[in-house]
Chain A
C-alpha cells in the first residue's frame, strides 16, 4: 500500500526540528507501525541517510517503550492501542500520516520520535512502593483480599508507563500515571500503612517534574492503552485530602 509519511526529524534535544516527507508505495497492510518504520529505515540507510530514531521493544503493547503521535492521535487512531499494536490496515491506501513525538515539557525530545520519560521513574522513586525488604514475608493467604479488591488493584497496577496520559492532556498533567500507582497500593491492605506519606511525596514529585495540574478533562482515560480509569485520579485526590488534613 502507498503512504505519505510526514515525520518529525530533530537531531538532538537542542536542535531545531521539522517535518520531512517520505513516500513509499510498498508497505503492507499487515505491518505494524514500527514495522513500517523499519521498512522505511532500511531504504534510508541504504541511500546514506540517517534512519528515523524511534523506540519500541516488546511490540505487543506491554513494555511502554513505544509511543508517538499519529495524525494528532496519541499512540494511535485506534482507541486504547499502543503505537506498536497499530497496524497499517487501520489506514487507507494513499493516506498521509503525520508522525511526531509526544509534546510534553517534562518529556524532552531526544531525537526524532524518541523522548525522555525518566520523569515518570522519578515519580515512582519518590514513594511508589511498599517499604518491605526482601526476606521471609508473612504467609500470602494470611491477609484475605476480596476478589473485587484484587481486580480493582490490578486495574490500577496495569499502567505500562508510556506517558500517553500526559501527552494528550492539555495541562500536560501526569495525574493518571501518578494516581494509578497511588490507587494500586492504597487499595491493598498491605499498602495502606504508608498511603498518606506516599501520596504527599508522589504528588510533590509530580509537580517538581513540571507536569501540570489536572482539571479532569478526561482525555487521558480515552487514550490509555491499559484503560486506566479517571477514578484513579479521584482516589489520588481523596488520598491527598485525607493525608493533608489528617
Chain B
C-alpha cells in the first residue's frame, strides 16, 4: 500500500486554484459514457451525486434508508461554519484554517484544511441559492453565532435544524436529477462489498433490503459517502442504523483506514438515564453560547440545582479556561466534565452529568429571545427528560459523537484503492484529532459540491476505460454469492445472543477502556475482551427470521460483525499511538496540568492501517509537514 498525498505544489493559498486549473476535463458529450456509483445520500452523497449528474455523468446512488432525506446529516443541529467575516470580527480564510488545524491538534494535512476554509464561503452562497432558510437579522442580512474552539462568529444556522435544512437543499438537488433521469436512485439498498478489478474500484455489491436480492453493480468510479461510525460505542448521538459496513468492507478490499480510534465525545449530550437506553440525544453545542456549565463545589451535594447558591457552584470551564470558558473545544470540555464526574462531583440521578445553566442568559436576554434561539432544543429536552430547562439547568454529559477517523484519502479524496473516493464523515481528512463544531456539515458539503466534481472528472479523464465483459459479470456474481452464503450461515447458527446484545457489549468495552481516556493496561484488556466477544459472536449469534423478506436482525448482524472487527482495530490504533492529541487522550501522556501532551518528534503522522487478514493490521504512516503554521501546544486558557 502506497500513501501518496498528492498535495499540489505551490503556495498554500494557491494549491486548490492550481489543481483546478490543471485538472483534466472530459468533453460534455462524452461524460454520459462514464458511470459513477455513489453510496450514501447524506450531505456528502447527495451533493456529489447531484453535482456529478449536473455535469453529465451517469450516476447511480445507493442508500439503506427508505428515503434519501433521512440520512443522518438530518440530525445536525448547531450550524455550519464559513469564513465570510460578516461580523467584521477579524475572520478570514487564514484564521479559519488556523483554528481548524489547531483545533485538530496538528494532526491533519495543511493543504486540505486550507481548502476547506477556502471553499466555505461558496457553500453558504450555494445553500442560500437552493433555498436553505438560514437565520437572518432584522435588516435581512445573514446571522451568525459562535461555536467552541474559536473567538469569531462564523457559524451560520437554521434554528436548531441546520443539518436538516442543508440536507433538504442537497436532497432536492438530488431529486431534481432523479426527475431528469440523470440519477438512478436505489433506496433500501445496502452496500455489502466493493468490486475491485486490476487494482481499481469497479463497482459494488448491494442487497435489496426489501427483497433480500443481492446483486453487483458496475461503475468506472465509486464514491463512498456512508457517514460516521460513532455508533460503534452503542450509546452515541448517532442514529440507530449508522454503521461502518461500507467503509469496513472497502478496507478489506485494500482501502487504508486512518486514525480509527479518533472519535469525538460531545460534551453536551443528555446523560444515560437507564439500562434500556438505545441512544443518547445531543443538545447542540450552540447552547454553550448562552449556557454556563457547572457542578456543585461540594462533593455529592444533593440539593436541587436552584437551591445551590452562586458561591457554591464551580463553573469549572470558566475557572480552568478563562479565555474560552464555556466555549472551550469539545475534547477539552468533555474531559473536564469527566474529570469532575469521576471525582464525585457529578449530578443527576446516576451522578453521571453536569449542569448547563441558562439562568444568567435568561435574566439578561429574556425568555423570548432564548426561546427563539433554542426553543426546539428546550422542547426536545423536556420531551425526553420531562424537565423544563427554562426553570432549572439541563443535565448534560459527554457522548460518542463523531468519527474523525475513516478511510484515508489523498488531496483528491481518493483512497488507497484506485478509483475509490471517500467523502464526508466516512473519510479521514480535515479534522485531525479533533473536529471543531460546525466544521463537518461544511466538510461533507464541500467534499460533495466543490471537490469531488473536479477530482473525479480528473480521474476519469486520465483513467483507462475498465474492461467490461463476462469476467466482471462473473466476479460480481461470485461476490454476491459469497455475501449470500455468509447471511445463510448466520441465519442457520443455533445461537442465543442477538446482534444488539453484542453491540451493547462492544460499546461498553470501548466506552470504559478506549473512550475519553485511554491507558495501556486497559487497552490491552480491551483487545482481549473484543477478541473473546468476536469468538462468541461466531459461535453464539442468534439471527431471527429468514433471508428474503424484510429482516432487520439480519441487517444488524452484518453491521455488528463489522463493528467488532473495527473495534479491534480501534484499540490497536489507540495502543500504538504513544501520545495524547485532540480526542485521543492517553493517560500516560499528559502535562502537569492534565492537558493532552503531544509527541511531535515521534508521532507527527497519520496512522493508516492496511488489512492483511484477521487481527493482523499493518501500519503505514503519512508524515505531516507543517509549512504555514508551526505546531504549538494547544492552549485555551
Which A residues form the contact surface with B (CB < 8 A)? 11-12, 28, 30-32, 34-35, 38-39, 42, 44-46, 48-51, 53, 55-65, 78, 81, 85, 87, 89, 110-111, 114, 116-118, 120-121, 124-141, 143-147, 149-151, 153-154, 157-158, 160-161, 184-185, 188, 190-191
Q: Is B139 part of the binding interface, using a Cβ–Cβ cutoff of 8 Å? A: yes
Q: A46-B542, A53-B552, A146-B140 are in contact. Are A153 and B133 (CB under 8 A)?
A: yes
- CB neighbours of A30 from chain B (8 A): 273-274, 276
Asked if A62 and B278 make an inter-chain contact with CB atoms under 8 angstroms apart, the answer reads no
How many residues from B make CB contacts under 8 Å with A? 78
A-B contact count (CB 8 A): 215
Q: Is B161 part of the binding interface, using a Cβ–Cβ cutoff of 8 Å? A: yes
Q: Is B135 part of the binding interface, using a Cβ–Cβ cutoff of 8 Å? A: yes
Asked if B161 and A158 make an inter-chain contact with CB atoms under 8 angstroms apart, the answer reads yes
Asked if B549 and A12 make an inter-chain contact with CB atoms under 8 angstroms apart, the answer reads yes
Q: Is B384 part of the binding interface, using a Cβ–Cβ cutoff of 8 Å? A: yes
Q: A60-B75, A140-B128 are in contact. Are A134 and B449 (CB under 8 A)?
A: yes
CB A44 to nearest CB in B, in angstroms, measures 8
Q: Is B136 part of the binding interface, using a Cβ–Cβ cutoff of 8 Å? A: yes
Asked if A63 and B125 make an inter-chain contact with CB atoms under 8 angstroms apart, the answer reads no
Q: How many angstroms between the C-alpha atoms of A56 and B122 in the bound complex?
A: 34
Q: How many angstroms between the C-alpha atoms of A69 and B354 in the bound complex?
A: 36
Which B residues form the contact surface with A (CB < 8 A)? 47, 50-51, 54, 65-70, 72, 74-75, 84, 86, 122, 124-131, 133-142, 158-159, 161, 164-165, 168, 171-173, 175-176, 178-179, 187, 210, 239-241, 273-274, 276-279, 281-282, 380, 383-384, 386, 449-450, 453, 496, 498, 500-501, 542, 544-545, 549-550, 552-553
Asked if B279 and A59 make an inter-chain contact with CB atoms under 8 angstroms apart, the answer reads yes
CB A221 to nearest CB in B, in angstroms, measures 17
Q: A60-B75, A62-B74, A146-B140 are in contact. Are A117 and B66 (CB under 8 A)?
A: yes
Tell me the nearest residue of chain A to B139, going by C-beta: A144
- CB neighbours of B501 from chain A (8 A): 42
CB B360 to nearest CB in A, in angstroms, measures 25
A130's contact among B54, B131, B139, B161, by CB below 8 Å, is which? B131
Tell me the nearest residue of chain B to A34, going by C-beta: B278
- CB neighbours of B550 from chain A (8 A): 53, 110-111, 114
- CB neighbours of B159 from chain A (8 A): 154, 158
CB A143 to nearest CB in B, in angstroms, measures 8
- CB neighbours of B175 from chain A (8 A): 121, 124-125, 128-129
Which of B84, B133, B173, B386 counts the most chain A CB atoms within 10 A?
B133
Apart from A59-B279, A60-B380, A157-B158, list 20 A-B contacts with CB within 8 A.
A30-B276, A31-B274, A32-B278, A35-B278, A42-B498, A48-B544, A59-B239, A60-B282, A62-B164, A87-B386, A114-B550, A121-B175, A129-B130, A129-B176, A136-B122, A138-B129, A140-B127, A144-B140, A147-B136, A150-B133
Q: How many angstroms between the C-alpha atoms of A154 and B67 in the bound complex?
A: 21
